[in-house]
Structure 1
Amino acid sequence: MKKAIIYIGICIVLISIASLFTQTTKGEKVTGKESDKRINYAKSDFTFQVTPETFALSITKDGKTETISEPQKKRNISNFKQSATEASWDYPDDKIHVTLKKQGDSLDVSIHSTNPSTSKFEWPSVNAPTYTLPIAEGKRIPQNDADWKKHFADESEQTMNELFSMKFFTLNKPSFAVSFIMPDMYNNDLVFKAEPAIHFSAIHTFPSINKDKKYEYKIFITDNNPVSIAKNYQNYIKDTNQFKTLEQKAKENPEIRKLYGAPHAYLWNTRVLTAADMNWQQLKANIDNPLFPWISELLTKYNPDGSEEFQQALTNIANGEMYAYEKNVVLNAFQYILQLPQLYNKTIFKNPDAAAQAYIDKGVNKLHEQELYDLNKHLIFSHISGLTKPLNTWGDSNATDIIEEMHDAGIKKAWIGLPNWVNGLMNPKSVDTAVKAGYLLGPYDSYQSIQENPSIDWNTASFPDKTLYENATVENEQGKKLTGFLGLGRKLNPAVVFDAVKTRVDGILADDIAFNTWFMDVDAAGEIHDDYSKQHPTIQSEDVAGRMKRIGFLNKKGLVVGSEGGNDYASEHISFAHGIETPVIKWSDPDMRENEDSEYFVGKYASMDGSIPTKYSKIVPIKEEYKAIYTSPVYSLPLFKLVYNRSVITTHHWEWDSYKIKGQTGERRLKEYLYNTPPMFHLDEANWKLHKKDIISNSKSWEPFQKEALQHEMSSFEVLDKERLVQKTTFGANLQVIANFSNKNFEYEKKTIPANSAIIVQNGKKNIISTDNLDS
């Protein structure tokens, strides 16, 4: 068929908004008035040309033409139609119908499949000198950059929902920027090619179970800078009623304001009975305590490996050997049996105290989880009271004492996450202490995976309803169940497990534990699925709806809810996110994940001694090739903050807290202020002592800075030097941050920005953030 070329264009006189923006040859600079009034960043005076046989698409503006989708293999076309503003045709062999329509300042593309079976369609295929992509917070990627070429050669196929935090990608063409914005990113995958330069294609899957077999793009032309690109996307989000500020959320739940100025910390109070609580010499003298054989019997039945270790430790102690190993085994055994409903045995615990007796009278099998733990603590204490400190002081050293010291040191705001709800239910005193200090404190929770056999050690993957393992898990189209985290168990379908969520949460909160925040693993990370199960077929939009339903349930309970990742399908529902600023770094590198002798090995998930697992506390370098991808300010852009600064507070993934990367603590500190990113750290008794001075000192600057920054849009971003190592952000009219990531001083507007430092100008006052000694 003769090639048909369509030329359609409408030139519309656009009211000039040039006075709102300025350009600089030093780098990007776009400054606009902060206002709730809509400022239009998109250009409408363009024309487009398309070749239907190859679906090549180009845009012409001001006499300059750029190809925005590269030609693909020729296809047969039929039913070609065109008018002044619209073009449409069919690919009969693919059962695809395409419509292009110029509407105002966007070019709308709709691709519809009539194939009842699962099918795929590739479009667009793009190639540009530079890409602006919402990878995590945001990246500027030159297509010939060696590190990025290697990255995309290794990671050539990626799911769009997991790679991108927002629903767009942008091509930086020589003449203008072209943004492809999607209503959603469901069923979209990206295929990258690194040679001869980086280019990529989007492949959409039309699942057989999805009756709405259509996907769409809105294509916008903007100025070629990140602020125009991000603010244009923000306009789209607002125009489609998907934007909700923190203050709007706080009107529904005022507790959200406790996030304003708060650092984020995970508190590892994983033992309620700690080494500091034990009188070890008394233990040696009472090694024949009748409680110990009962503990061994329980461990033999429910934790055989633990039983063998426990019995050996007792033998060693009886023989005069009581080292760190023996102490840890004993404490781990206590922590385990304190969670067992089978602990109470009237032949062992003949004289329970009044508190324990009240629980026994109620019926052990009728107790809420928190009541069970309290019963077990009283039972244990009644047998070993001479071996420990008073029961009401158990766990103070690794929880309550740290919280009190933080407050006494002047830290007024803090978000504190527990690795598990058990840590709070076993030590409600620490939760009360945090809440009285004005902090947010709550548990990590997850509904990603389910194990066939419930386990105390992985209780987030354990559910009382045994039918869920078969009846509520995700299947692919071939009928195979998807495996859970680390290849264990199965993946739960969030659309069908709400009752299980409600049962768990209501059970945790049954005795009014003072949790005022909740962290939901994975739900905002973009890891979503189609479920082809005949019992509960579920498409990806329904998967997300199930996740948002459970987050909404937590919101209605007055909890401040956050999640992993921060994908913006969740932006209206969550208040904070962990993983936007520093995502998980290179899952697939064996030196980081498997080779324990490697200097890059990030550490282990488990901790023998109850301290922070080394995966979170060990300070490690990252390879040079990963710095461009994950941390370097040269490639980073505050895209998410330019859109959502007033809507979602974002920080690092918990695997990569502010101190984790060797030699980069200072650089990341500067970026935290530049991007309004709360510092994150992991705390136990040892880590608090290690970082205490710096945490306290930094909080004095952080709290007033963020409280002001959150009141405004991030209104501008500027690169001030050709190396892209001096950058500036502006929040509203009276707050600026200038960060100098270089090793030399920089002069700017009669101000000297010292090397490796940032200057905050807030209401006319200057504050220097120094990174001296942070990486020494």
Structure 2
Amino acid sequence: MRKTLLSILAAVMALSIFTGCSGQEAVKAEAASQIAKTVKAPHSDFTYEVDPATFDIVIDRDGLKEHASVPMKRRNFTELKKEANRMEWTYPEEQVKVIIEKKEDYLNIRIQSIGAEQFAWPTVQADSYMLPMWEGKRIPSSDPNWKQFLQDETFTWSESFSMNFMAMNMKHYALLYIVENPFNNEVSFDTESNIGMTFSHEFPSINPKKEYGFRLYVTNNDPVAIAKLYRGYVQEKQGFKTLAEKAQDNPEIKKLYGAPHIYMWNNQLLTDSNIRWQAMKKKLNDPIWTWIAVLADRYTEDGAQELNSVLQEVKKESLNAYHKRVIVKALNQVIKLEQLYRPDRCQSADAALLKTIADGVDKLSEQKLYAFNKNLLKSAFQDAVDDPSEWGRDHSTELVEDMHQAGIAKAWIGLPNWADGLMNPAFVEKAAKLGYLIGPYDSYHSIQKQENKDWNTAYFSDNSLYEQATITNEKGKKIGGFLNRGRKLNPTLSLPSVKQRVDSILQDGIMYISWFIDCDATGEIYDDYSPGHVTTQEQDMDARLERMDYIAKEKHMVIGSEGGNDFASRVIAFAHGLETPVIKWSDKDMREDKNSPYYVGAYWSAQGGIPERYAKQVPIKELYQHVYVDPAYTLPLFKLVYNDSVITTHHWEWGSLKIKDEAAERMLYELLYNVPPLYHLDKEEWESHKKMITDYLAVWSPFHAKAATKEMTAFQVLSPDRLVQSAEYGSDLKVVANFSDKDAVYGNDTVKAKSAVVYEGDKQTVFNAASAVRQR
């Protein structure tokens, strides 16, 4: 029966490549069923031989032999024991014990330290690799692009690989290593000839677990076979939780089905249009401005030099756009400060307003502080500013209303800072009532000693955390925080502060429905050698899961995180970064040289809109185009495992429109891989891209709403250049995407260049991405 199913699989795949599936309707349902069964079944009829002196494992299947590992340099071994299906030995110099056991359909390989601090095995060499780097990559071992990219590179396993396996396409079949201990591992690449990989494991002194190992499977040279084997492993070992099951716990998750992901930038609540500038100019000599300048100097990163200069200039000349921008920024900054009110500086405050602070400004919640300060500024400037209820409406409430009227019925809306919503609760309420999921960005990864209002996620009210709860490496040095500012916070000591922060944000009923937690699903985890709170990587990871699970269950939030590596799959509903990760963090042309055409932009916007880091369209270097976005190298490995469990999209630095001249290709990718587009919007960006976004979502949203809860059941490459591909979801939903510049024939259909066709039963929906980009 097994060989019969393999024959069916091969015949169906070959026929689909050359003729397209639409000519095979009679066998379509049966073939899909047979494929689904076949790809989950590994080859069990293999034998193996191992040379303990070199740790060389040779797999034999039907007389076809492949090396599962490159032989090591010969070394001494002792304590060799052989049984029918089991073999073990010791390397005395390396202080390592090896155990290999043949199970029904895999080899169980365990490597134990009996004194070793680290060990490197296996080194592998293959014709090509299928690796869960981000969504998934096909890496031909002789490919010049990958050889250049991987040259002398070493990757941390838990952070660089979204799932715990590595697959080698050999001449006759594929070998799949499933990594059973994901902690303290690295993978290095040798590119001197063809690409080779070496897997190494550290045995930390603080970790009592002194073993790592693999399951080694033999299966087909096919990404579907690889991914479905791993899906079965996940179901067996840790359980598999679908989106439908998660939605039973929190029905709000259903709002993600068919929802684009949109970061909305309205962090400057008070805008230029909310100020009557002639009236404001008359008030620039008011003593409150002296106080505002003092506050800016004390409590903001930029200080007051620019503001003081502007206040002097406008005494002699007319207000210009630059003056207005500086003034608006200063007013928005002081809205956040509890120091704004002083009786001697704010004499215009009336009795009703002062009654709200009868117990002291410091007793106000964050949301009520912002409300008080808005009214305080209104009392000071009177008719020079609009009523606070109107502040920022055109960049927030009116924007989501227009999105809804334009046909966007569902959306995940992320705010770059929780304060943006607390300052504008009417906007949050409107978005929620329109049916959108809305929530803040939050992070517990870095901690700074001093409070910074512009980086509030890195400050915690528990002042002891900075000295007593941060991570120390093996050399006794504190690990620096993001951008090497501050330190990394030990997650095992964070939960009380997490609860305090979340309670504080939510205490006045802000209608947040979702919560985005930076870094927790990236796999950036640590061993902490700090005396008093020694922590292993596994404990670090478990603590991250615990705090995400707390916000999900106790606060009923739809949880998302950066990365989305699969250890978090049972907790999170969505993830940002698997489809397009941060592109080459270390490239100075992109990150440091502001004159480079590849410079991605700064994190901050002087105008208060979308920072260039997120809105500026930039080209990427040819090498990065191949490695990160070229569909010829991309495989839907994560989708084949987790499509019906976790919704994944791009990292927020590399949204759908970020890469210059790639918008059409990214729309096709999003359709084929069932990926939500990720946009950064303010009023100006929405007006600029409105038609393209709405035309695209008219096709993408109904497709995603159906595909999100289905398993990805098939993936096929339909052209020699790999630029025509198809993916199937469940048994009746399929997408064929043509990334090339030439029309392609698929069965009886023609798929236009840079277009996709969605097949649902007998219904076809065509989306021409090239046309959508031209007409925007």
Deviation at 1:295, TM superposition (A): 0.8
Q: How far apart, CA to CA, are the structure 1 residues paired with 2:356 and 2:515?
A: 28
Measured after TM superposition, the shift of residue 774 of structure 1 is: 4.9
Distance in structure 1 (CA, Å) of the matches to 2:368 and 2:405:
31
* Cα deviation 1:506-550 (Å, max 9, x = unaligned): 111111110000101111111111111111111011000110011
Distance 1:749 1:355 in 2: 74
Give the SS at the match of 2:357. Answer: helix
What CA deviation, in whole Å up to 9, does each residue of 1:217-259 have, x standing for no partner? 0111111100000011101111113310001000000000000
Q: Secondary structure at the residue paired with 1:747?
A: strand
2:488 pairs with 1:491:
yes
CA contact (8 A) 1:355 1:378 kept: no
Is 1:475–1:481's contact at 8 Å kept on the other side of the alignment?
Answer: yes
Q: State the match for 1:439 in structure 2.
A: 436
Q: Match for residue 552 of structure 1?
A: 549
Q: 1:354 to 1:177 in 2, by over 3 A?
A: farther
Q: Note the C-alpha offset of 1:18.
A: 3.4
Residue 366 of structure 1 deviates from its aligned partner by 1.4
Does the Cα contact within 8 Å between 1:717 and 1:729 map onto a contact in 2?
Answer: yes
Distance 2:589 2:724 in 1: 33
Q: How does 1:571-610 map to 2 (within 5 A)?
A: 571-610=569-608
| 1:70-469 → structure 2 map (5 Å cutoff) | 70-115=70-115, 119-153=117-151, 156-303=153-300, 305-353=302-350, 356-469=353-466
Q: 1:518 touches 1:559 (CA, 8 Å); kept in 2? A: yes
Distance (Å, rounded) in 1 between the aligned partners of 2:623 and 2:17: 25
Question: 1:693 deviation in Å?
Answer: 1.1
- 2:685 equivalent to 1:661: no
Deviation at 1:40, TM superposition (A): 3.5
What is the alpha-carbon distance in structure 1 between the residues aligned to residue 635 and residue 173 of structure 2? 18
Which residue of structure 2 aligns with residue 691 of structure 1?
689
Answer yes or no: is the 8 Å Cα contact 2:348–2:380 preserved in 1. no
Q: Which amino acid aligns with 1:294?
A: W
Preserved contact between residue 278 and residue 387 of structure 1 (Cα < 8 Å): yes
- 1:5 maps to what in 2? none
Change (3 A) 1:121 1:277: same
Deviates more, 1:742-751 or 1:286-295: 286-295
Letter of the 1:42 partner, please give it: P
Q: d(CA) in 1 for partners of 2:573 and 2:35?
A: 22
- Root-mean-square deviation (Å): 1.8
- Other structure's SS at 2:202 match: strand
Q: What is the CA–CA distance in structure 2 between the aligned matches of 1:276 and 1:524, rounded to whole Å? A: 40
- Counterpart for residue 25 of structure 2: none
Which stretch shifts more, 365-374 or 424-433?
Answer: 365-374
The answer to whether the 8 A contact 1:50-1:58 is kept is yes
Equivalent position SS for 1:372: helix
8 Å CA contact 2:9, 2:38 repeated in 1: no
Tell me which of 1, 17, 22 is aligned to 2:5: 17
Which one-letter code corresponds to 2:140 in the other structure? Answer: P
Report what 2:57 is aligned to: 57
Task: Give a deviation string over 1:160-214, Cα, whole Å, max 9, x none.
Answer: 1111100000000011111100234111101111110110100100000000111
Match for residue 705 of structure 2 among 704, 707, 713? 707
Moved more, 758-767 or 405-414: 758-767
* Residues 34, 712 of structure 1: 8 Å contact kept: no
Letter in 2 for 1:343: L
SS of the counterpart of 2:519?
coil
Aligned equivalents of 1:237, 1:496: Cα separation in 2: 29
Is 1:618–2:616 an aligned residue pair?
yes
Change (3 A) 1:34 1:401: farther
- The runs of 4+ residues in structure 1 deviating greater than 4 Å are 13-16, 25-31, 34-39, 773-776
1:730 aligns with 2:728: yes
2 CA distance for matches of 1:530 and 1:775? 47
1:710 shift after superposition = 1.5
Instruction: Check conservation: 1:449, 1:489, Cα contact below 8 A.
Output: yes
Contact 1:20–1:33 at 8 Å: present in 2 too?
Answer: no
* 1:27–1:147 distance in 2 versus 1, CA, 3 Å: farther
- Per-residue deviation, 1:311: 1.3
Which amino acid in structure 1 is aligned with residue 655 of structure 2? D
Q: TM-score, normalised by structure 2?
A: 0.95
Contact 1:263 1:413 in 2 (8 A): yes
Find the aligned partners of 1:301 and 1:652 in 2 and give their Cα distance.
Answer: 38
Letter in 1 for 2:559: V
**What secondary structure sits across from 1:772 in the alignment?**
helix
Kept after mapping to 1: 8 A contact 2:6/2:38: no
Aligned to 2:499: 502
Partner Cα separation in structure 1 for residue 573 and residue 179 of structure 2 = 23
Residue matched to 2:540: 543
> What's the offset of the Cα at 1:365?
1.5
Aligned to 1:3: none
Residues 43-91 of structure 1, C-alpha deviation per residue, up to 9 Å, x if partnerless? 1100111111111111110110000110112222111001110000111
* Residues 695 and 534 (structure 1), Cα distance of their counterparts in 2 relative to 1, 3 Å cut: same
Classify the secondary structure of the residue corresponding to 2:371.
helix
The SS at the match of 1:523 is: strand
Between 226-235 and 240-249, the greater mean CA deviation after superposition: 240-249
Q: Does 1:568 align with 2:556?
A: no
Cα deviation digits, residues 102-137 of structure 1 (max 9, x gap): 11111000111122xx71100000000100000111
Q: 1:21 is aligned with what amino acid? A: L
Seen in structure 2, the aligned counterparts of structure 1 residues 362 and 408 have a Cα distance that, compared at 3 Å, is farther
Name the structure where helix makes up a greater proportion of residues.
2
Give the structure-1-normalised TM-score.
Answer: 0.95
CA contact (8 A) 1:734 1:764 kept: no
**Secondary structure, in 3 states, of the residue corresponding to 1:69?**
coil
Aligned residues: 761
Query: How far apart are 1:20 and its partner, in Å?
Result: 6.2
Q: Report the Cα distance in structure 1 between the residues aligned to 2:143 and 2:58, rounded to whole angstroms.
A: 25
Q: Does the 8 Å contact 1:34/1:732 carry over to 2?
A: no
Is the 2:8–2:34 Cα contact (8 Å) retained in structure 1? no
Q: CA deviation at 1:303?
A: 3.2
Amino acid in structure 1 at the alignment position of 2:300: N
Q: Distance in 2 between matches of 1:39 and 1:720?
A: 19
For residue 358 of structure 1, report the CA deviation from its aligned partner.
3.7
CA distance in 1, matches of 2:519, 2:733: 33
Partner secondary structure for residue 513 of structure 1: coil
Q: Which of 528, 536, 547 is the aligned partner of 2:525?
A: 528
Task: Tell me the distance in 1 between the aligned counterparts of 2:726 and 2:174.
Answer: 22
Q: For residue 775 of structure 1, report the CA deviation from its aligned partner.
A: 4.9
Indicate if the aligned counterparts of 1:34 and 1:713 stay in contact, CA closer than 8 A.
no
Q: Distance in 2 between matches of 1:19 and 1:62?
A: 16
5+ unaligned residues in a row in structure 1: which ranges? 1-12
The change in CA–CA distance for 1:193 and 1:684 in structure 2 (over 3 A counts) is same
Q: Do the aligned residues in 1 keep the contact of 2:146 with 2:627 (CA within 8 Å)?
A: yes
Shift of 1:310: 1.2
1:387 CA drift (Å): 1.2
| One-letter amino acid of the counterpart of residue 597, structure 1 | N
Q: 1:405 to 1:90 in 2, by over 3 A?
A: same
Alignment correspondent of 1:6: none
- Shift of the 16–533 alpha-carbon distance from structure 1 to 2, 3 Å rule, reads farther
Shift of 1:329: 1.2
Partners of 1:391 and 1:355 lie apart in 2 by 16
